[in-house]
Structure 1
Amino acid sequence: MGPWGVFFEGFLRNPVMVGSIVPSSRFTINRMLSRVDWDNCKLFVEYGPGVGTFCRPVLNRMRRDGMLLVIDTNPQFIEYLRRTIKDSRFVAVHGSAADVEDIVRAHGHEKADYVLSGLPFSTLPDGVGPAIAAATHRVIRKGGAFLVYQFTPKARSYMAKHFKRIDNGLEPLNVPPCFMWWGWKDEENEDAAAA
């Protein structure tokens, strides 16, 4: 059925979880990934990869001994990704982003360097968005970041409870235009959270 067909069917089956009727533009992809320090990225995690719009660009930039770990609640997307992405650095997990800490540990890591999310925070069930933001902050290493792109500003409020430094962006060349945030886990943030 091809990536567009799989993506569209996933949207029709569960529009609340997919969030958009079309995948992200190359402009959004390039801007979101431009802040990543690829030389020092061993584990990159993505929530809601859909049909892999970000997966291939991430793998193209990633070091040879790195890992791209993607998590999605849609079994159709996971099956499609496992079938179409043949890269030893790629792992697709059927599960919830709220369980990211357990999933990361199960794949041999303690921390993630970066976590990318296009999950539609504004339509997630009550309590799920804040739980994902908290778990994400815990799983990211110091110096790493939570990269979020959304069509509404709701996700930023969840991020701001955990990430003190958040860079903002807007990508107009996307359908629809999207907000972008990079939440950095700085050393001082970690010390303040522990106090």
Structure 2
Amino acid sequence: MESNNFIKQYIRNPKTVGAVAPSSEKLANRMVEDINFINASCIVEYGPGTGVFTEKILNKKKDSTIFIAIEYNAEFYKILKDKFKNETNFILINDSAENLKEYLNKYNIDKVDYIVSGLPFASLPDAMSQRILSVTKEILKGKSRFITFQYTLFKMKLFRKYFGEIKRKKVLLNLPPAYVLECKN
């Protein structure tokens, strides 16, 4: 079911849906393995798709941790809304990650510990990618981290423009294999 949704959405929206299948369990585990769930007060997810990373985060976060997921695609948003309707401190938004600051203001959140991203920066319009990364850099302070994955290292120069330190790990057990990038200012 989820794979069919991904294929349909990829065909309809190839610039904003970067894959034909959901991320693997191995990639999902790698994406969240360095999050300090004990101390995190706010986690944001960009582009949750059908919720592979979302589910991992919801299962590991404290009840008091605020978790905001921003999904641009209306079909994926509907799936997520139904799938996670009973979650505590979970805010699902149907909008672009470019507008995260508006929502942080709306919900009186002044600190984000982690931003986890499933966004396809290689296929997003360049101006949109730059706006998202600019907002991300502005929001992240101190020990906060931006964790994303990409299928190629094609956009590393773009990420380096916004983040001073980037650690990368390769995940072979994903279709296609992916790189997890942990970025900080």
Q: Please tell me the TM-score bracket, short chain as reference.
A: over 0.9
Higher helix share: 1
Q: Percent identity?
A: 29
Q: CA RMSD in A?
A: 1.4
**Residue 94 of structure 1 aligns with which residue?**
94
Q: Deviations over 1:45-85 (max 9, x none)?
A: 11111111111110111011012211121111112111111
Structure 2 residue ranges without an equivalent (≥5):
none
Contact 2:31 2:53 (C-alpha < 8 Å) held by counterparts: no
Distance apart, 1:140 and its partner CA: 1.6
Cα distance in 1, alignment partners of residues 169 and 94 from structure 2: 30
Structure 1 residue ranges without an equivalent (≥5):
186-195
Q: Deviations over 1:142-194 (max 9, x none)?
A: 10100010112234322212211111111011000001110023xxxxxxxxx
Structure 2 SS opposite 1:181: strand
Contact 1:42 1:67 (C-alpha < 8 Å) held by counterparts: yes
For normalisation by structure 1, the TM-score amounts to 0.89
Structure 2 SS opposite 1:83: helix
Distance apart, 1:43 and its partner CA: 1.0
Contact 1:156 1:181 (C-alpha < 8 Å) held by counterparts: no
**Residue 192 of structure 1 aligns with which residue?**
none
**Residue 105 of structure 2 aligns with which residue?**
105
Look up the equivalent residue of 1:46 and give its one-letter code: E
Cα distance in 2, alignment partners of residues 169 and 10 from structure 1: 28
Higher alpha-carbon deviation: 138-147 or 156-165: 156-165
Number of corresponding residues = 184
Cα distance in 2, alignment partners of residues 181 and 56 from structure 1: 20
